[in-house]
Structure 1
Amino acid sequence: MLDQPALVAAALDSLDDVFYVYDTDAKLVAWNRRLNDVFDRTDEELRGTPAEEFFVDADRERVQAAVAEVFDRGETSVEARVETAGPAVRFQLTGHRLVDDDGAVVGFSGIGRDVTVEHEQSVRLSLQNERLESFASVVSHDLRNPLQVAIGLVDLERDERDSDRLGRVAGALDRMDRIVSDVLTVARDGSDLEDPTSVSLAAVARDAWGTVDTGSATLDVRTQTSVEGDPDRLDRLFANLFRNSVEHGSTSSRPGADDAVEHGSSDGADGDGVTVSVVDTERGFAVEDDGVGIAPDERERVFDAGVSRTADGTGFGLDIVRTVAEAHGWTVTAAESETGGAAFEFDLGLLDPSADDD
């Protein structure tokens, strides 16, 4: 059976991270086997190596500053690159000052963790965000401005001599404008919330309803839930859900109880009597309607970008809904309402999932 020092040494050697101990001169005095593997050096070659000598020239000054900080303040953390037996590796290094029983400083110890992959992913994400912002800028200025000019000119022409062709052109331009707006929303709404505030879902739902062309549709708000969130983004979430219900939930396309013949589908542009409800649930809230509903095999893909159930839909509305929900730490699923219509259920994490097993 291993004695305590041997057991500690074996435990340190089992780590995927590098463990090290330096003396007051910042010379290496103890380490785990991982350090030998990283640099392909023997114990004799490693012993007494100054801390900064493991790292590329460009990062040695940063490491020296970190060593000074650990002796001065008691702890430090720094990232630096090393030339290993293989490719260059970026390490996140920690240091903690060591003192003896009398309080005298005797050195420092720490952990070196390989963060090369994480760093590369961060760089790629940063470049993607830059390209996305550049794309959003092009869409906003180079495309949207001439589009608005075209819409204005068509409107003027229709005031003087309207025609079916001009009406179709106006409809196409309007759809293009909505696509541009939705694309900009997707591109510019990041995944993080900044300065969330307390938001009443009932209040933001009623406000959003007033911004949507709901025609003869009816809103029924039965929620008392308040959340920490972004009011503007939640407004877009509800507006897109309401627009989806009004455009797709026309009650006229549902067969009556004694009607064996399916009625022709309606474009739902005027809401056609559909009732949209915002209700509380055990896990959060839901937005439901009493329209035609969503087929079971379509419920997962309706959130995908570019997927629309109507010819003139943008295909971004429910993608925006999911993006906003995830930014708030929620999940959203499509289901069937009690009346057979569509239901979008939001899980706010109010219940422990394991409680269902009790």
Structure 2
Amino acid sequence: MTSEPDIEVLYVNDDEPQLELLRTQLTDESDRLHVRTAATPDRGWEIFADGRSDADADIDCILCDYHMPAQTGVEFLRRVREVDPDVPFLLFTNTGDETVASRAIEAGVTDYVIQETVENQAPLLVQKIVTYVEHRRSQQEIERTNDRLREIVSVTDQVLWVFAPDWSELRFINDRHEPLFGQPTSELRADPTSFLERIHDGDRARVEQAMRRASEGEPQLVEYRVDKSEAVQLWVESRCKPVLDDDGTVVSLVGLTRDISDRKVYQQDLLETIEQLEEFASTVAHDLRNPLNIANGNIRLAAKEQESERLDTALDAITRMDTLIDEILALAKEGDTIGDRQPAAFEELMRESYDNVRATGSSLEITGSVSLECDPTRLTEAFENLVRNAVEHGGSDVAITAGVLDGGGVFIEDDGPGIPPEHREHVFDRGYTTSKDGSGFGLAIVDRIVTGHGWDLDVGESASGGARFEIQTADA
């Protein structure tokens, strides 16, 4: 158990018997107090000055009589306050003169105690001394902590802040608030929630909701617009972490706010680029399919009139080109974010994906199912590509098996030739393929969709030597 720190007290009084008596009473009352005595103000000043130059002898509190021939207690107080405005100073006098009290208060006295002639006042004095010293020490520790925080955060361009649990008090903030919000820090200290006035009208309610949730103990992350001035608007991101005591009660709200305007501009540019890419791909696909449909129809008519391996080869090439068009369209949409998630049964998604591919001659066995929180449309697209990959490499009679992983997740495997170990780390790279007819897009799309859900995708070997794809999810 850590003991409470000692307190160094300086007691100044020209009445030496009283000086020694009170020193003894104070130290008997509390073993935390170390009392140094001075019979004159000049000697008291020497002890006080020596303590300021020696941290081990620093005076934590001064107790001083008022009536002394060379210098009054108030005059000594003024001398002390010239060099230390905060050290606790208790004037201990045997008179209740209002004029003396007024002068003492004006000079910055901490407390004014009337000396009783009979009663032992050591308990009262000890209580006052300990209270004032501990308060000063706590304030000094807060100041030291704030100084360290300011030094640490001076190298960042983010706003670091600490609020009371109900946002009624700003306990700390670095110097980055005004450059970001265009609001003087002094204004925020006077009214801790005044920063809300700088938040864009359309975002303010959302920020206030995040503040309420933080006060209830929930960490928050919120993006919103700040109207820094009439001409300047920024996007910022605020993260808030509630600090809890041992009982789970919120005691402080600590957070960081940073400028994310560049990121928002990039996101907007990216969305526009994706939209343009999708429009371009759709146009190209439409323009390609028209002549392909004509070629396909005429070749089939010709095949009815005359059997020819070359016509069959041409039909296979047209079918492959149609598949390539589908993959290019899917690749163009790959930059899309995963849509709204909803529960979906793995078995249903897997059967739908298999049916969509129409892999005649192949088989699908599902050994188990689980509910997945996912974008069903995008995940179905991923499963379709895995089925196509199995058929493409394992042949039309490939056997596909799907099920649930023991550790959480799902798998899809086949009994085809498998993927050699030296190729496995590259199979998800865009454009990589070991098939002369492959585009190298299918598995790359699977990887983007799976990772877009926040899941992990691995490739290995099935029990029959074929390819095995494992999707580790947080939902299974």
Instruction: Normalising by structure 1, report the TM-score.
Output: 0.65
Could you say which structure has the larger radius of gyration? 2
CA deviation map 1:128-173 (0-9, x unaligned): 2233223223233233333323322322332333433332222222
- What's the offset of the Cα at 1:48? 8.3
Moved more, 311-320 or 330-339: 311-320
Q: Residues 7 and 198 (structure 1 numbering): CA distance in 2 closer, same or farther, change over 3 Å?
A: closer
- The corresponding residue for 1:329 is 454
CA deviation map 1:162-210 (0-9, x unaligned): 4333322222221111011011122225543334332222223223333
1:278 aligns with 2:402: yes
1:100-249 to 2 correspondence within 5 Å?
A: 113-249=258-394
Between the aligned partners of 2:454 and 2:160, the Cα distance in structure 1 is: 36
- What's the offset of the Cα at 1:77? 5.2
Q: Is the contact between residue 199 and residue 224 of structure 2 (CA under 8 Å) also seen in structure 1?
A: no
1:94-105 to 2 correspondence within 5 Å?
A: none
- Name the amino acid aligned to 1:78: R
Equivalent residue pairs, number = 280
Between the aligned partners of 1:213 and 1:48, the Cα distance in structure 2 is: 70
- Name the amino acid aligned to 2:380: D
1:14 aligns with 2:158: no
- The corresponding residue for 1:303 is 428
Instruction: Normalising by structure 2, report the TM-score.
Output: 0.50
Q: Is the contact between residue 200 and residue 227 of structure 2 (CA under 8 Å) also seen in structure 1?
A: no
Q: Which runs of 5+ in 1 are unaligned?
A: 21-29, 40-45, 51-61, 83-87, 95-109, 250-267, 352-358
RMSD: 3.8
CA deviation map 1:92-117 (0-9, x unaligned): 388xxxxxxxxxxxxxxx97623243
- What's the offset of the Cα at 1:299? 1.0
Q: Residues 224 and 65 (structure 1 numbering): CA distance in 2 closer, same or farther, change over 3 Å?
A: closer
Q: Residues 3 and 215 (structure 1 numbering): CA distance in 2 closer, same or farther, change over 3 Å?
A: closer
Q: Is the contact between residue 200 and residue 225 of structure 1 (CA under 8 Å) also seen in structure 2?
A: yes
Larger RCO: 1 or 2 (CA < 8 Å, sep 6+): 1
- SS of residue matched to 1:124: helix
Between the aligned partners of 1:323 and 1:187, the Cα distance in structure 2 is: 12
Q: Residues 113 and 197 (structure 1 numbering): CA distance in 2 closer, same or farther, change over 3 Å?
A: closer
- What's the offset of the Cα at 1:286? 0.9
- The corresponding residue for 1:345 is 470
- Name the amino acid aligned to 2:471: F
**Percent of residue pairs identical:** 32
Between the aligned partners of 1:203 and 1:126, the Cα distance in structure 2 is: 32
Q: Residues 7 and 324 (structure 1 numbering): CA distance in 2 closer, same or farther, change over 3 Å?
A: closer
Q: Is the contact between residue 224 and residue 235 of structure 2 (CA under 8 Å) also seen in structure 1?
A: no
- What's the offset of the Cα at 1:338? 1.8
- SS of residue matched to 2:435: coil
- The corresponding residue for 1:293 is 418
Between the aligned partners of 1:123 and 1:232, the Cα distance in structure 2 is: 24
CA deviation map 1:227-247 (0-9, x unaligned): 122333333322222222222
CA deviation map 1:275-314 (0-9, x unaligned): 2111221221111122211100111211222222222223
